[in-house]
Amino acid sequence: MIDNMIKYGLPFLSLGISLVTFYFSTWSQRAKLKIELTGKTREMKPDRVNYDFPDRYIFDDYRLFVDVLLINKSSTPITITEFRIKNEAKIRYSDQTGSFYKVTIKNTNKTLVGDSIEISYDFNQVPKLLPPIVIPPYSVELGTLVFFYKNPLPNKVKFEIISSRRKFKRKIDVSLRSYSVLQTNLEIPEVDESFLDL
């Protein structure tokens, strides 16, 4: 009887071990990307001094700075092809950012002298993330994303990462806002933006 149990039980045991091994192998290869924010997400309407400063996107008044840490928690590489902010309006992502952003805001602090305060952001000090980005297994990518658009965003936005394997999503709180009050005589030409090189 014991011989029969061994004879007929071993194939089932072998099958069970194979199924468990297959399950864990497949699970480890499944695309798993953890998206962590390393700082507060900042919306900015920077000072527009001329057509080149702070950047080339003269038709978009607002910038969104998102500091992210991307963690590949799977056993195979993940190739990121695109970053998106889901919104009704058109929002561009580009690596062609300016190197330095400055915002002149109204002074509401009575302890400071003057009607306005300048806030600066040196973009040379942070790494930029430019797709396509290949993240090796169990590795990380750190950097700042910059999005360009016409009108202010709501307090919560949907952030998406498009990869070669699947789409990753998370919600982002826009927690810091600074809008320029600098008055200039710079005239923005009327151009059909569909012809612009993005």
For residues 3 and 76, membership in a common domain is answered with no
For residue 192, is it within any domain?
no
| 182 token code pair | 């600098």
pLDDT of residue 58: 87
Local confidence pLDDT in tens for the 198 residues of the chain = 555 555 555 555 555 555 444 444 444 457 899 999 998 999 999 999 888 888 888 889 999 999 999 999 999 999 999 999 987 677 888 877 888 899 999 887 766 656 788 888 887 777 888 899 999 999 999 999 999 999 999 999 999 999 988 999 999 999 999 999 988 877 777 655 554 444
For residues 15 and 63, membership in a common domain is answered with no
pLDDT of residue 116: 80
The answer to whether 163 and 33 have CB atoms below 8 angstroms apart is: yes
List pLDDT tens digits, range 24-50. Answer: 444 445 789 999 999 899 999 999 988
The answer to whether 69 and 38 have CB atoms below 8 angstroms apart is: yes
For residue 154, is it within any domain?
yes
3-state SS assignment for residue 149: strand
For residues 17 and 43, membership in a common domain is answered with no
The dihedral through the CA atoms of 26, 139, 64, 108 has a sign that is positive
For residues 37 and 17, membership in a common domain is answered with no
Closest by CA to 148, choosing from 105, 92, 106, 82, is: 92
For residues 39 and 112, membership in a common domain is answered with yes
pLDDT of residue 51: 85
Alpha helix (H) residue ranges in the chain: 2-29
For residue 198, is it within any domain?
no
pLDDT of residue 126: 78
Backbone dihedral angles phi then psi of residue 112, each to the nearest 5 degrees? -105, 145
Backbone dihedral angles phi then psi of residue 135, each to the nearest 5 degrees? -105, 115
Provide the CB-side half-sphere exposure for 94 (13 A, CA): 14
List pLDDT tens digits, range 119-148. Answer: 888 877 778 888 999 999 999 999 999 999
**How many other CB atoms are found less than 10 A from the CB of residue 82?**
12
Q: Give the largest Cα separation in the chain, rounded.
A: 97
For residues 97 and 3, membership in a common domain is answered with no
d(CA 45, CA 62): 5
The enclosing domain of 77 has a CATH number of 2.60.40.1890
If phi over 0 gives left and psi between -120 and 50 gives alpha, with beta otherwise, what is residue 138?
left
3-state SS assignment for residue 104: strand
Q: Which domain holds residue 20?
A: 1-30
Q: Which residue reads 């016409």 in tokens?
A: 150
Instruction: Count up the domains in the chain and report the number.
Output: 2
